Amino acid sequence: MSDYRVLPGPEHFLPPAAASMGVRLPNPGEAHINGVITSEENAYEEAARQFLMANVPTIFPGPLVLWAWNEKAAKKATAIRHLFNTLKECVQPNQKPMLIPMPDYRPKYPKINPEIEINPNHPNLTIWHNKIDCCVFIGVHCHQANLSLKIIRGGTSCYTIAMCAQAGHEDAMLSFRDASVDKIMRLADTIKRLKGTVRPRLTPVKNAVSD
């Protein structure tokens, strides 16, 4: 097993891809935390804990769930809305959950509007602008998600979670695989269960601000 750990950054001017450092993806039924394979049960608990601890826990839904291009996508979108509502119910008043879409992957210049979207080509702008310290990617194409997760790890201290419908992401600090409506709902249930048991960070997070 690799000694490399996938941790919140800012890690490096150009951080390596975790896969190239020997981090392996989980098998079905597993997840990873910081690059170490673990059970899905542990991952639900840790993801919920990170969300409840964060100042600005944020969900980034991607194109695969933003449009009802099939029945499954529509159901996932409903589940993601439920996850967001659960999050809002479970955090304290001074925490600020956000739902910011990644509507597409078009390079947008001179800049995106970081208050309304995140783009894989410059995700750090959205993270910095909104002081996001924990986020989950859902419904983003795998290549674009990895691109973004690596840039976030390189230049911000945001804790990243991937709810991936395929094989998962080494470049996130925590990754599920084979994401389904059930798994999204289970994450929401875990957040609800842990409500009140996790102490929010509520302190400025290093480099989570734009200074």
In this complex, which beta carbon is closest to another protein, that of residue 109 or of residue 203?
109
- C-alpha distances out from residue 119 to 29, 49, 177, 205, Å: 30, 26, 22, 22
Tell the smallest beta-carbon distance from residue 25 to another protein (Å).
Answer: 6
User: Residue 138 and residue 156: Cα distance in Å, rounded?
Assistant: 20
The answer to whether the beta carbons of residues 145 and 164 sit under 8 Å apart is yes
CB under 8 A: which stretch of 52-60, 90-98, 118-126, 193-201 binds another protein?
118-126
The answer to whether the beta carbons of residues 102 and 120 sit under 8 Å apart is yes
In this complex, which beta carbon is closest to another protein, that of residue 106 or of residue 211?
106
Tell the smallest beta-carbon distance from residue 138 to another protein (Å).
Answer: 15
User: Residue 37 and residue 39: Cα distance in Å, rounded?
Assistant: 7
- The runs of H, that is alpha helices, within the chain are 40-53, 63-66, 71-90, 123-130, 142-155, 181-194
User: Residue 129 and residue 126: Cα distance in Å, rounded?
Assistant: 5
User: Residue 73 and residue 60: Cα distance in Å, rounded?
Assistant: 15
In this complex, which beta carbon is closest to another protein, that of residue 94 or of residue 111?
111
Binding mask 81-110 for another protein (x = CB under 8 A): -----------------------xxxx-x-
Q: Which amino acid is at 83?
A: L
The answer to whether the beta carbons of residues 113 and 129 sit under 8 Å apart is no
In this complex, which beta carbon is closest to another protein, that of residue 119 or of residue 190?
119
Q: Contacts with another protein in 133-192 (CB under 8 A)? A: 141-144, 146-147, 150-151, 154-155, 166-168, 170-171
Tell the smallest beta-carbon distance from residue 143 to another protein (Å).
Answer: 4
Tell the smallest beta-carbon distance from residue 97 to another protein (Å).
Answer: 26
Q: Contacts with another protein in 24-83 (CB under 8 A)? A: 24-25, 63, 70, 72-73
Tokens representing residue 182 in the block:
């059930």
By CB under 8 A, how many residues form the interface with another protein?
Answer: 37
For another protein, the binding residues (CB under 8 A) are: 14, 16-20, 24-25, 63, 70, 72-73, 104-107, 109, 120-122, 124-125, 141-144, 146-147, 150-151, 154-155, 166-168, 170-171
